[in-house]
Structure 1
């Protein structure tokens, strides 16, 4: 549970969904259109949702219960939470506008809340509460985790069989079967509550249409998927850090349990990726004192921009707590001690050769790592036939730019900023090349976002 008064992220809300269909339906209701008389206060969120009938559905969510969220909706759904509760929470997560803080809930919501309180008090009076009630929460959480682990294991086992069938029949069968084969397999992984496996399976579906050399790329991705499957199925034999990495790659929920690190965090880059269901915002920060480069993730549902926004070049005096897992950069933003303010310092840089070596070393801790954050010193964007690369001004080494970077307007912004002179460039370095995100001119000058 988050503290009362602290709004959840869309990711936290969607993690409550009982299945993929509920996530999709709830996401569609996460906009202000169907809602009226919505409000929040005292750990409760409520609202009226227009349905197919003449009377709107009455939806209320109790967030203050230490045992976890509780839901009440007048719709006929037997799912908990139903799509209306998910939509209401997504709307509430978006900010004060559509779900303002109110003095007290309406009578219909208050009646349900009062009944819950009476039942809780009666349970405690009969001896079921008190100290015993404190142990019920972790026990219920343990049972939920065990049930999900069983589903994930079943999904991973099924996926292993499907990969074996593919290799037994030959990779050419993947081209003939088309995307439908992978889409159906991905849906099975969603049902198994392993969204990380589902996302990787969907990526397999587009490889046969990706041009020359696709069989090799498909085999590489199948091998990584097999490795992730085996990591889960044999997780008891892994170190705690590597097991946490496997859970993260599978998409299982984890909490940021690292010790808070207070620093002046320079905003290196911010960019969004959008799909039909979520907008994902990535914000890279660099600590002036700690030297750590950390990643913040935030989400917006149903085409809405995520709430967290930090402009490149500002510094934030705040605490960050790391998520578990070996080689993980992701952190959670904790207490902020001052508003973001312009900063004059820049992150230290490295060479292109060292950047490639850094990514190679990181793969030992996380074999599924797509890229690592790197700041390059004194590099020049130069054409390489039909491609582009960042050439080290002081050595003979260079890093190719990724296909995504070459298709962005930021490439020409980078070329214009350089004018043939060396730059400091922050970006993501991985097996597909380097994606520049922010650049600084030599000497003085503000950072220039490239994404």
Structure 2
């Protein structure tokens, strides 16, 4: 990626945008008009001056070669990372007309880059020799938290019992406030996983046809999680680790580092008023393993880790504990992410359904599993859409959330009635497509 002639695609650049508004504004700055003194180096730095509303142009520099993902610096007042100027500069750099020539970085760009890499090395050195923690104090804190969670789980069990005794119709009359209060109690009990599921229960009543069935199903899963926590000493180690994770207890990766050439299958963000969660799906081209990286950004800031779809990197990842858990931590990276023509192997729709069923045996609270479907065709099904196996009479429905996203129409256009390879998440509501590849050669298309 740091070599001239090896460039990102526009989709890979725009995948870095923190929101739709930044994506739109950055696209407008992806032409040469507002830029001057733009350049790039073989070491992976891109810089330029962008004309703004003031008398002085904005100084924009991007470190593409950073192994933790691109880093940005811009003199504009925007609090978004990357800002529209950084996105526009990368789009200009990625363009076919090679509007960003190779050259020597100006002093203002070189100083920032040198300072940033020095700070990165200092952090690595500090992390290599952490201060010794007090294991006895840590054990006592863990015991106190477990006691609070147990008390919260008992209170939640009583609330579920009251719901079933009074009937599901009472949930509609009680409204959202009852479950919001319950969620707050679970937060006090230091069980954020229970709190999140309690809030989800509150949103189900009056949510459309069949809501009593959905409420009963989610209540049963919450009851199962409660009971699993209360009886965790009797569970196998892997399942107990999964329960702790679903309750919301922090965990550290404990699996041995696995080095592979990791293909970035998809990257997308989900947001709430307090937190942005970024999910990055990786596929090991040698091991065949699929791993999930999670990164967070608070206060409206985008998460720091950014690995645009379609790139690949030589790196190590370490798995988190838990039965069937795919979450991993990104470890040492031996090369910067770079474009690749590699594709993951796909399965049939029938094999995908079997895979999801097997995954539920290890983790009953699993919402979805990552799956790459091979040779599927996007077809309408009444008012809905589905992915039909081109070689068998079996299809997977697309959930309503996927049908309302622009990515569906990109998928329909890419397919055009012909089979395509599609990566996405398969759950009880259907298959959510995230990335697609045309038959034969061709660049991947983001559907996020």
TM-score, normalised relative to structure 2:
0.71
Q: Distance in 2 between matches of 1:138 and 1:239?
A: 24
User: Which one of 132, 138, 143 corresponds to residue 141 of structure 1?
Assistant: 138
Secondary structure of the structure 2 residue equivalent to 1:207 = coil
Partner of 1:14: none
User: Which one of 190, 202, 222 corresponds to residue 193 of structure 1?
Assistant: 190
Partner of 2:417: 420
1:151 Cα offset (Å): 0.6
Partner of 2:326: 329
1:345 Cα offset (Å): 1.2
1:119-177 deviation per Cα after TM superposition (whole angstroms, max 9, x unaligned): xxxxxxxxxxxxxx96x611111111011101100100000001001101111100000
Indicate whether 1:375 and 2:403 are aligned. no
Q: 1:185-334 alignment to 2 at 5 Å?
A: 185-334=182-331
Indicate whether 1:364 and 2:361 are aligned. yes
Secondary structure of the structure 2 residue equivalent to 1:232 = helix
Indicate whether 1:442 and 2:423 are aligned. no
Q: 1:73-222 alignment to 2 at 5 Å?
A: 137-222=134-219
1:248 Cα offset (Å): 0.4
Secondary structure of the structure 1 residue equivalent to 2:315 = strand
User: Which one of 365, 373, 384 corresponds to residue 387 of structure 1?
Assistant: 384
Number of aligned residues: 328
Partner of 2:338: 341
1:379 Cα offset (Å): 0.3
Q: Distance in 2 between matches of 1:403 and 1:335?
A: 39
Q: Distance in 1 between matches of 2:310 and 2:273?
A: 30
Q: Distance in 2 between matches of 1:210 and 1:176?
A: 13
Q: Distance in 1 between matches of 2:174 and 2:229?
A: 28
**Structure 2: gaps of 5 or more residues:** 1-78, 83-111, 120-130
Secondary structure of the structure 2 residue equivalent to 1:208 = coil
Q: Distance in 2 between matches of 1:296 and 1:308?
A: 9
1:64-116 deviation per Cα after TM superposition (whole angstroms, max 9, x unaligned): xxxxxxxxxxxxxxxxxxxxxxxxxxx9x99xx9xx98x99xxxxxxxxxxxx
1:240-276 deviation per Cα after TM superposition (whole angstroms, max 9, x unaligned): 0000000000111000110000000000000000001
1:209 Cα offset (Å): 2.1
Secondary structure of the structure 1 residue equivalent to 2:443 = coil
Secondary structure of the structure 2 residue equivalent to 1:445 = coil
Deviant stretches of 4+, over 6 Å: none
Q: Distance in 1 between matches of 2:331 and 2:319?
A: 10
Q: Distance in 1 between matches of 2:353 and 2:204?
A: 25
Q: Distance in 2 between matches of 1:271 and 1:336?
A: 21
TM-score, normalised relative to structure 1:
0.71
**Structure 1: gaps of 5 or more residues:** 1-90, 105-132
